[in-house]
Structure 1
Amino acid sequence: MASVLADPDFELLCLVDSAAGARIMESALAGAARPLPVLVELGVEGGRTGVRGVDDALSLARLVAASPRLTLAGVEAFEGVFPQRRDDDSPERVRRWLDALPEFARRADAEGLFAEADEVIITAGGSSYPDLAADALLEPSGLSRPVRRIIRSGCYVTHDDLFMERASPLRSAADDDPLRPALTCHARVLSRPEPGRALLGVGKRDVSFDIDLPVPRVLVRGERRIPLTGTARVVALNDHHAFLDVTGTGPDTPAVGDVVELGLSHACTVFDKWPLIPVLNGEHRVVDAVRTLF
């Protein structure tokens, strides 16, 4: 860590949520060319990492600001540990909790804890509540330093068929011009071993399954695209196969050699599995590829 700080053009920000963590950073930074910019992390009670309240966060901020090897650069939070749904009181709980960010920034600034920083960074915003995070980050105003506000809602890049479609403020049920799912997986029908069952050549190693199973969208047969909505359902995955339950026995049901286009859930897991994702045009031809760094 100390060596990368020798490059003045390299911007490194690090989170801290404890005095022990700050002391480890200081030890690792012996001989560093410049102090390390640090964001104090605010966390949710019972959730993941992060200081559990503004008063404790300020105590940690004072320790960071007093260190010759660290610079207090701002505050970070991730509200995605709250239930990611819009049909209960979760949005209101998120709003109340996000109020801690501007409160911390105001109080830390009033104590002069950002004295060594050129700007104050305030960042939050998972993909389910970017609208609420943006509202919270509009405050505070009138600090002694310029404020850089960063929303980290990366799943907008692709959206999805289930997880983000349930939670995003730009889901189809909540917006006149919604995000549309852009992640699909094409899987060949390998076998029809039993009535009502097809086996696809895709499994846990290929598609996300940590929140929802893939959704059959379309049967691709040559130039034909046959909708599968309501007539097929992925019921299980193993390492290399998907188990597809099929209703009906007509000619437009999946047959060996056909391709099933699957919609996916939870883009983060897809990005983790596929470091290079092909991009299709409107005619479903591969025209580009996107490399993921996740």
Structure 2
Amino acid sequence: MTFVISHPMDAPLSALDKGVPAIETNLPLDAVGAQQWRLLKEDLPLPVAVLKEDCLRHNSQWMKSFLADGGARLAPHGKTTMSPGLFDLQLADGAWAITVSTPHQVQVVRRFGYQRIFLANQLIGAKAIDFVISELARDASFEFFFLVDSVDNVKAIAKAARDAKLQRPLEALVEIGYPGGRTGCRSVNEAIDLAHAIHETNGAIVLRGVEGFEGLLKGADNAATLELVSAFLDSIVALARACDEERLYGSETVILSAGGSSFYDIVVEKLGSAALTKQTIILVRSGCYITHDSVLYAKAVQALRERNPALADAHGGLAPALEVWAYIQSRPEPEKAIAGLGKRDISYDDQPIALVWYRPGVDMERPQPLSPDHRVTRLNDQHCHLEIPADSPLKVGDMVGFGVSHPCLTFDKWRVLHVVDHNYQITSSVRTYF
């Protein structure tokens, strides 16, 4: 069966899109598979970003199994891909909501018709607040959750809701953070005071839960990082219990949420121990699991393997699904090659990894692995500097597939990514809306 990932509202492909052939007329996404394009036959202009369908399927099922075993739910972070086609795949596998970060992302997911949105950020600014209130007033089935860490913000949102005569409450989670971190109240006591401020809006806003983000905590080594993460999650649990004891929640179901793409196992274990008097939803928000990667989250999985090898290796573990392909366009020195991709095409938190190579037009059945001594040393806007051994097989015109680090910052460089099967035949395409 053809594996098609697209959304009915997606705009068609155009020759104006990077990575799309010079087609004369626009092509609906659901017709892409019928073109029988194949990456290795040079049917696509390079550089091009591709998603390996077998890895996408595998990662989606892996997360589904993890959540079922842990009794948690997933609101995948949409800012990773901003792709409705991939959102639909995640929802089909049981995702509870779509998470976003910005007012623009809220507008996008609403335009595409998603009914349950978790804003993992503060709702700030008159236009953003008014848009959410208008959507809640217009659509009784729309559910929206957001974070607060400021009494001033609570008052501004409550006033806007009253001015608009909104007939139902907005639903907020108090965010707790940590000194030197990003957003969030800096102590449990401060967060409890904020929860009281929500309660005092007299129903304009209700407290639906407690939230925090542990993904940026870093210690001297994996063990030290784990201690920091565990202590931070304990503070979320302490706050959740305090709000429960003081009867500050405005619903019979409480949401406890944390969890990027590095510590979801610890999040589920810790938050699952809260033992509140109300029914609890443990909500993790990993977005990068769907494609995984070859560097940043590969390291996170190695850390997971150290603390929980059974989970890390369950069902084969996560697999990198995202690659960016480019031609070798110059080999100016015996130990140097230049590939035709750069910072405009691939993330550069860490350098990409040169994974495989292929020579078009010869009897070469499949791409072949490149040895670790083929190393990306730096990126320019459109050029990739490769340090290679003098006896490397690479020559001008060869194709190289690169693994990425941090999928979020590769997705946002592409309006179109192509889904490929095990032979690198294009089965469908997905659009992004950054």
Fold match (TM-score > 0.5): yes
Is 1:73 the counterpart of 2:73 in the alignment? no
DSSP 3-state at the match of 1:109: helix
What's 1:91 paired with?
226
Report Cα offsets for 1:176-213 as digits up to 9, x if no partner: 3321211111111111223322111111011000x211
- Measure the CA separation in 1 of the matches of 2:287 and 2:241: 27
DSSP 3-state at the match of 2:397: coil
Shift in alpha-carbon separation, 1:256–1:84, aligned structure 2, 3 A: farther
TM-score by length of 1: 0.91
RMSD between aligned residues: 2.0
Shift of 1:169: 6.2
More strand by share: 1
- Measure the CA separation in 1 of the matches of 2:283 and 2:215: 15
What's 1:35 paired with?
169
Shift in alpha-carbon separation, 1:100–1:77, aligned structure 2, 3 A: same
Shift of 1:94: 0.6
What's 2:261 paired with?
127
The answer to whether the 8 Å contact 1:164/1:171 transfers is no
Report Cα offsets for 1:238-287 as digits up to 9, x if no partner: 1111111111235x2x1111101101111121232234321111112111
**Runs of 5+ in structure 1 lacking a partner?**
none
Shift in alpha-carbon separation, 1:125–1:265, aligned structure 2, 3 A: same
What pairs up with 1:151-162 in 2 under 5 angstroms? 151-162=284-295
What's 2:26 paired with?
none
- Measure the CA separation in 2 of the matches of 1:149 and 1:45: 25
Shift in alpha-carbon separation, 1:191–1:277, aligned structure 2, 3 A: same
More helix by share: 2
- Measure the CA separation in 2 of the matches of 1:95 and 1:48: 18
What pairs up with 1:17-32 in 2 under 5 angstroms? 17-29=149-161, 30-31=163-164, 32=166
* RCO comparison, higher one (Cα < 8 Å, 6+): 2
DSSP 3-state at the match of 2:144: coil
Identity %: 38
TM-score by length of 2: 0.63
Is 1:258 the counterpart of 2:398 in the alignment? yes
- Measure the CA separation in 1 of the matches of 2:208 and 2:404: 37
- Measure the CA separation in 1 of the matches of 2:221 and 2:334: 39
The answer to whether the 8 Å contact 1:171/1:179 transfers is no
Q: Structure 1 counterpart of 2:134, which letter? A: S
What's 1:202 paired with?
341
What's 1:235 paired with?
377
Shift of 1:229: 1.9
Is 1:184 the counterpart of 2:318 in the alignment? no
Shift of 1:289: 2.6
The answer to whether the 8 Å contact 2:218/2:228 transfers is no
Shift of 1:291: 3.8
Aligned length: 289
The answer to whether the 8 Å contact 1:44/1:81 transfers is no
Shift of 1:226: 2.7
